[in-house]
Amino acid sequence: MKKTLFELKQDMATVGQQLQKVENELAAKAVDVNASSDDIKALQKSKEDLKMRFEVIKEQHDTMEAEERAKFNQQKKSEPSHDPEQRIVEAKAQLIRAVMNKEPVPVEVYQTLGDNQTGGGKFLPKTVSTDILVEPYVKNPLRDISTFTQIPNLEIPKLNFTLDDDDFIADTETAKELKATGDSVSFGRHKFKVFAGISETVLNGTHTTLVSHVERALQSGVAAKEKKVAFATTPKTGEEHMSFYSTETGIKVVNGENKYKAIKAALADLHEDYRENAEIVMTYQDYSDIIEFLSNGSATLYSAQPEQILGKPVTFSDSAVDPVVGDFSYSHFNYDLSVLYDRDKDVKTGIEQFVITAWFDHQIKLKSAFRIARVTTP
Angle formed at CA 127 by CA 122 and CA 128, multiple of 5 degrees: 55
Closest by CA to 146, choosing from 321, 297, 304, 335, is 335
- Average of per-residue pLDDT across 147-167: 71
Q: What is the pLDDT of residue 168?
A: 44
Most confident of 62-76, 184-198, 296-310: 184-198
Report the C-alpha gap between 155 and 189 in whole angstroms.
12
pTM of the model: 0.70
Q: In the predicted model, is pLDDT for residue 318 greater than 90?
A: yes
Q: What is the pLDDT of residues 124-149, one digit of tens each?
A: 887 788 877 766 556 788 988 999 99
Q: What is the pLDDT of residue 179?
A: 67
- Average of per-residue pLDDT across 215-228: 90
Report the C-alpha gap between 246 and 234 in whole angstroms.
7
Q: What is the pLDDT of residue 246?
A: 93
Burial of 235 (0-12, 13-18, 19+ CB in 10 A): buried
**DSSP secondary structure, 169-203, as one string:** ---HHHHHHHHHH-SEEE---EEEEEEEEE-HHHH
Contact between residue 142 and residue 331 where contact means Cβ atoms under 8 Å apart: yes
Mean pLDDT score across all residues of the chain: 84
Identify residue 186 by its one-letter amino acid code: S
Closest by CA to 216, choosing from 38, 333, 92, 58, is 92
Q: What is the pLDDT of residue 177?
A: 67
Name the pLDDT band for 165 (thresholds 50, 70, 90).
very low
Contact between residue 111 and residue 297 where contact means Cβ atoms under 8 Å apart: no
Distances in Å between the alpha carbon of 32 and those of 29, 45, 48, 141, 235?
Answer: 5, 18, 21, 84, 97
The sign of the dihedral angle between the CA atoms of 79, 85, 88, 93 is: negative
Higher pLDDT among residues 72 and 322, named by residue: 322
Residues linked to residue 149 through DSSP beta bridges, in sequence order: 334
Q: In the predicted model, is pLDDT for residue 300 greater than 90?
A: no
- Average of per-residue pLDDT across 41-61: 87
Q: What is the pLDDT of residue 127?
A: 78
Report the C-alpha gap between 328 and 162 in whole angstroms.
19
Q: What is the pLDDT of residue 244?
A: 96
Q: What is the pLDDT of residues 167-176, one digit of tens each?
A: 545 556 666 6
Residues linked to residue 355 through DSSP beta bridges, in sequence order: 195, 342
Identify residue 30 by its one-letter amino acid code: A
Q: What is the pLDDT of residue 163?
A: 41
- Angle of helix 126-134 relative to helix 207-230, nearest 10 degrees, comes to 50
Q: In the predicted model, is pLDDT for residue 166 greater than 70?
A: no
Longest dimension (CA), the chain: 122
Query: So where are the chain's domains?
Result: 5-77, 137-195+216-378
Name the pLDDT band for 264 (thresholds 50, 70, 90).
very high
CB atoms near residue 276 (< 10 Å): 10
- Average of per-residue pLDDT across 78-97: 78
Q: What is the pLDDT of residue 70?
A: 78
Report the C-alpha gap between 103 and 243 in whole angstroms.
40
Cα 26 from chain centre: 66
Q: What is the pLDDT of residue 335?
A: 92
Residues 6+ apart with CB under 8 A from 168: 162
